[in-house]
Amino acid sequence: MTAANELLIVLCTVPDQASAERLAEGLVGERLAACVNAIPGLKSFYRWQGKVEIDSEIQLLIKTRRGRYDELAAWLKANHPYDVPEIVAVAAERVSDGYLAWAVEQTS
């Protein structure tokens, strides 16, 4: 496996279901992600513009390969409703051969 085909899981929060669906469909449609899971019920605590904020959000788990990360991040920045979206990539330490082959095929 080449480094470009290593699986990444990209974390990204969104404010609502409509945003989650629009971004997930766009990422998969553009072949930037093999799969996106939208997990509702997240409560986020963070500091923004000098004050502590508490918001309900949806967590996106975006599966892609390392070779598509830069394009994926740029697409998210251009299409996300937040000024500064969370875009955090974590390398998948172990992935089944079949799933990895499928994910690479979907993002090629």
List the CATH number of the domain containing 16: 3.30.70.120
Instruction: For residues 5-29, give the mean pLDDT.
Output: 98
- Assessment of whether the complete model's pTM goes beyond 0.85: yes
Query: Is the pLDDT reported for residue 2 higher than 90?
Result: no
For the stretch 44-90, pLDDT in tens is 999 999 999 999 999 999 999 999 999 999 999 999 999 999 999 99
Please tell me the total count of domains within the chain: 1
For the segment 33-54, the average pLDDT, to the nearest whole number, is 97
CB contact at 8 A, 1 and 99 = no
- Give the mean pLDDT of 30-53: 97
Half-sphere exposure of 9 (CA within 13 A, CB side): 11
52: containing domain: 3-106
Give the mean pLDDT of 10-16. 98
pLDDT band at 26; cut points 50, 70, 90: very high
N- to C-terminal Cα distance for the chain? 14
